[in-house]
Amino acid sequence: MNAFLSTLWANVTALPATLRSGMHPGVRGDGDSLTLRMRRNFCFHLHPVQVAARTLEPKTTLGLGVITLALFGVLAASGVLLMIYYVPTPGGAHAATQDLEYAVTFGAFLRALHRWAGHAMVLTAFLHLLRVAFTGAYSRRELNWTIGLGLFLLTLGLAFTGYLLPWDQLSFWAVSVSTNLLDYVPGVGGLLKRLLLGGREVGQAALIRFYTLHVALLPALMGGLVALHLWRIRKDGGLARAPGEDPDGAAAVPAWPHLLLREAILVMVVLTLLCFLAAFVAAPLGGAPDIHNPSNPEKTPWYFLWVQEMVGYSAPVGGFAFPGVLLMGLALLPFLEREPEGAGRWFGPPGKRAVLVVSTALALFFFVFFEWAFMDPAVVSWFAARPPLVRDLLNPATGMLGLAALVFAGSGVRVRSTRTAFLAAIAVLLVAVVGFTFVGWCRGPMWTFFWPWEEWSLVR
């Protein structure tokens, strides 16, 4: 009995240490090397034991992958809580969202947190894609680049399916106009639209499909792909670096504490900023949708505005050719661009960076020129009177696509670098996407252009 009690007492007094080693197997005793601790701990094991010191510099990744991951975590957690109150029926969705906004304790905060994290994730996933492209970090990482592209499309899918759920005037008409864009995709567009909406228009069938995609199917796919993405980084030997830059060499440091601590701090900063934003800026909620009275202007969510703006000039180019070329180009990038030199460094080979500056400047010049020309009422009425083929060939969207092709061929031939040629073309398309998004955002009633400081009512 005594032996039993003394053993039990010994175990009780040893409880803090036992808990520590049992629940946190990476830390067992004083004699452990950092390497041993890392090998035994799951969290540490996500990273290589040693990482190149250069990958810790903020300018290497800008922390964008980790920020995107943190936002996904916030979205998953806040989304599950929102599900407790949400009712996915046309009769119940708007009322439930109103309840969340005005009646449920912390409901408005939760909605805002989810909404702003969603917008932020679209932005940071896009910026992360650009950082990987412009540092040539897709090089010899074909599978992970492809997984990443899938993650970006899933991010857009999640943001878009969530957009409908408040079921207010804005979301109803935004989803209607966005799904109408699918009509311009030849062959499968109409079928895709019917599959997504469960009919020809946004209604009960569409709401339940969007809801199922938003809360179950897409998050599950996203979770699985994120796990694969992180595993691939580990299997690819850490972040991209130039050949000869050895992660186990002199410039290597242990991932714990150097990398993990930085990541933890970054996640905390993201959470703090997001909480402040959600506390002070409410998520918008309009009135219940009026299905007989479209909003004027009817706009897609901001991340599809560039497509809507280009469709205004030419449906086949804006709705299909331009996004198709962009997507195909990005999908084929690591397979057609295989220069090992300078992987992990910004903007390709140092001696050839001037090409990127010139391409971006050309893109800015031509974009402003095309848009300026198309704001002249004389040009607009001349354009409207042309046959469809002429309109498809002579418009800002085709112009920017043509410029990207010219810059690609011209810079490739001139500096004999596939990386420079691809990056130059991506720079031109980026200027176009951002530019068309801005112009689309400025559009007011009847799709007329207004500067941000002009009030629609003053000009109308």
- The residue ranges that bind ligand HEM (CB under 6 A) are 61, 64-66, 68-69, 72, 125, 128-129, 132, 137-138, 141, 144-145, 148-149, 151-152, 155, 226, 229, 233, 239-240, 344
Reduced to 3 states (helix: H, G, I; strand: E, B; else coil), residue 280 is helix
- Residue 48's CB is within 10 A of a number of other CB atoms, namely 23
Q: Which is nearer to ligand HEM, 327 or 393 (CB)?
A: 327
Residue 305 Cβ, how far from ligand HEM at the closest point, in Å? 19
Reduced to 3 states (helix: H, G, I; strand: E, B; else coil), residue 68 is helix
- The packing angle between helices 107-134 and 64-83, to 10°, is 150
Please choose, from the candidates 266, 233, 69, the residue with its C-alpha nearest in 3D space to the C-alpha of residue 147.
233
Residue 95 Cβ, how far from ligand HEM at the closest point, in Å? 32
Q: Which is nearer to ligand HEM, 46 or 208 (CB)?
A: 46
395 Cβ partners below 8 Å, 6+ apart?
313, 314, 317, 370, 374, 383
Q: Which is nearer to ligand HEM, 115 or 128 (CB)?
A: 128
Q: Which is nearer to ligand HEM, 152 or 450 (CB)?
A: 152
Q: Which is nearer to ligand HEM, 107 or 344 (CB)?
A: 344
447 Cβ partners below 8 Å, 6+ apart?
297, 312
Residue 171 Cβ, how far from ligand HEM at the closest point, in Å? 23
What's at 76, amino acid-wise?
A
Residue 267 Cβ, how far from ligand HEM at the closest point, in Å? 11
Tell me the longest C-alpha to C-alpha distance in the chain.
102
Please choose, from the candidates 57, 66, 48, the residue with its C-alpha nearest in 3D space to the C-alpha of residue 128.
66
Q: Which is nearer to ligand HEM, 148 or 323 (CB)?
A: 148
The span from the CA of 268 to the CA of 94, in Å, is: 33
The span from the CA of 22 to the CA of 14, in Å, is: 12
* HSE-CB of 5 using CA atoms within 13 angstroms: 2
Q: Which is nearer to ligand HEM, 116 or 313 (CB)?
A: 116
Contact by Cβ (8 Å): 247, 237: yes
* CA-based end-to-end distance of the chain: 92
Q: Which is nearer to ligand HEM, 327 or 375 (CB)?
A: 327
Residue 360 Cβ, how far from ligand HEM at the closest point, in Å? 21
Residue 247 Cβ, how far from ligand HEM at the closest point, in Å? 12
Residue 451 Cβ, how far from ligand HEM at the closest point, in Å? 32
- Residue 265's CB is within 10 A of a number of other CB atoms, namely 11
Residue 93 Cβ, how far from ligand HEM at the closest point, in Å? 26
The dihedrals phi and psi of 434, each to the nearest 5 degrees, come to -65, -40
The span from the CA of 22 to the CA of 28, in Å, is: 9
